[in-house]
Structure 1
Amino acid sequence: MMKKDNLERFVRDNREAFDDAEPPMGLWSKIESGLGGPGLADPIGNERDDTLSGRVVPLNGNAARGAGGWFNLNWRVAASIAVLLLAGTLLYKNYQPKTAAPSELVAAGPAYAQQVAHYTQLIDNKRAELKQMTGSNPALYEQFSADLDRLEHSYQGLKAELPQNPNQEVLIQAMIQNLQLQINLLNEQLRVIERIKHQNQKANENVV
């Protein structure tokens, strides 16, 4: 293995093959500490393997200057990746679906969690349908929403009580029954709207 003195002698004897730029301070100590490290090619050759980048870099003054730039580039890339990962984590936390079941439900049993998630998604879809069908009658939508909101308020109260309640299974059953009541109410409201629309259509046909 080439020691520091041999490497210095090699550079002095072949100075014309190198750039005329002065090496940065501390370069020899860095070279010495790096001798024998993994991924280092034959030191007599004109090329070495850069273990950080996997590239083959010419062993000259330009390479010494470029190494610092490459390390800086690696740090910038690493920092950019860290920022992207952090942003992705925040987005995931902030935009998780509202249908996700509480952790207490998951602990009580996957079947409960799946059932609650299914009912919650169904309620969201039916609420959206209700809003669309009552677009021409905002007063009716407000009336229907008030009935639904009372049930939803009760559901949120049960959900908030869940972590501290020792009888979690009984409470979960009450939550599921509440969601079923919301679905039944929504179905009835949608049927009422359909009947109103049908009656209006018949009235218009009779007028014509």
Structure 2
Amino acid sequence: MKNTDRLEDFIRTNREGFDNLEPSADIWEKINGDTKKVKVVKMRTYLMRIAAVVAIVAISAVLVNNTLIKDKGFSRIADPEINELLDTEKYYAQKVNGKLEEIRKCYSTFPDIKDEVEMDLVELESMYDTLKNDLKDNMSNKSVIEAMIENNRFRLKLVDSVLEQVEC
């Protein structure tokens, strides 16, 4: 312990002899340049960014929702007669699709009817799609909706007759 105390005493008494060199100003500038500057982000700025993102998302959601509602092919129209025709068309379309599922179950039992039925249905479906495209152009066109209903009635008769013949 005495050796440490003697060394400490020696350094204290001769301190000025050790501090004879001063660092240059260039070294201090280099040290200041090398240290990273801490970027301070204020909480208010951070909250403003979050609020802006939330506002953009909300506006986008409203715009997308409005666009989808306007683009719907069968949106409701003020004319109740058109609405009734659209409901009738939807009813027949659901009936046809349900019976088509029954026929498709019979394909394994009666594979020879598959090509014939599918060919007839594809032809009727292409006519139906053409009518649907015409309807998009003019939603209040009663004759197009009536033609779609007639197409669905014909498809329903076709599927019913196939179901009667195969009885599966």
TM-score band, normalised by shorter chain: 0.5 to 0.7
Check if 1:143 corresponds to 2:116.
yes
Identity of aligned residues (%): 20
**Alpha-carbon distance in structure 1 between the residues aligned to 2:99 and 2:64:** 31
Given that 2:131 and 2:148 are in contact with CA atoms closer than 8 Å, whether structure 1 keeps it comes out as yes
Q: Secondary structure at the match of 1:113?
A: helix
Q: Output the amino acid matched with 1:156.
A: D
Q: 1:67 aligns with which of 10, 22, 44?
A: 44
Given that 2:86 and 2:145 are in contact with CA atoms closer than 8 Å, whether structure 1 keeps it comes out as no
**Alpha-carbon distance in structure 1 between the residues aligned to 2:42 and 2:84:** 62
Which residue of the partner structure matches residue 153 of structure 2? 180
**Alpha-carbon distance in structure 2 between the residues aligned to 1:150 and 1:171:** 18
Which residue of the partner structure matches residue 200 of structure 1? none
Given that 2:124 and 2:151 are in contact with CA atoms closer than 8 Å, whether structure 1 keeps it comes out as yes
Which residue of the partner structure matches residue 11 of structure 2? none
Name stretches of at least 5 consecutive residues in structure 1 with no aligned partner: 1-61, 198-208
**Alpha-carbon distance in structure 2 between the residues aligned to 1:155 and 1:193:** 26
**Alpha-carbon distance in structure 2 between the residues aligned to 1:88 and 1:102:** 16
**1:112-159 CA distance string (max 9 Å, x none):** 111111111222222222222314544422221112222223333444
Given that 1:134 and 1:141 are in contact with CA atoms closer than 8 Å, whether structure 2 keeps it comes out as yes
Given that 1:134 and 1:193 are in contact with CA atoms closer than 8 Å, whether structure 2 keeps it comes out as no
Check if 1:193 corresponds to 2:160.
no
CA RMSD in angstroms comes to 3.9
Given that 1:120 and 1:179 are in contact with CA atoms closer than 8 Å, whether structure 2 keeps it comes out as yes
More helix by share: 2
Name stretches of at least 5 consecutive residues in structure 2 with no aligned partner: 1-39
Query: What is the 5 A alignment of 1:101-116?
Result: 101=74, 109-116=82-89
**Alpha-carbon distance in structure 2 between the residues aligned to 1:180 and 1:102:** 22
Check if 1:127 corresponds to 2:90.
no
Given that 1:119 and 1:179 are in contact with CA atoms closer than 8 Å, whether structure 2 keeps it comes out as yes
Structure having the higher Rg:
2
Per-residue deviation, 1:183: 0.5
**Alpha-carbon distance in structure 2 between the residues aligned to 1:88 and 1:137:** 47
Larger relative contact order (C-alpha < 8 A, sep ≥ 6)?
Answer: 2
**1:5-57 CA distance string (max 9 Å, x none):** xxxxxxxxxxxxxxxxxxxxxxxxxxxxxxxxxxxxxxxxxxxxxxxxxxxxx
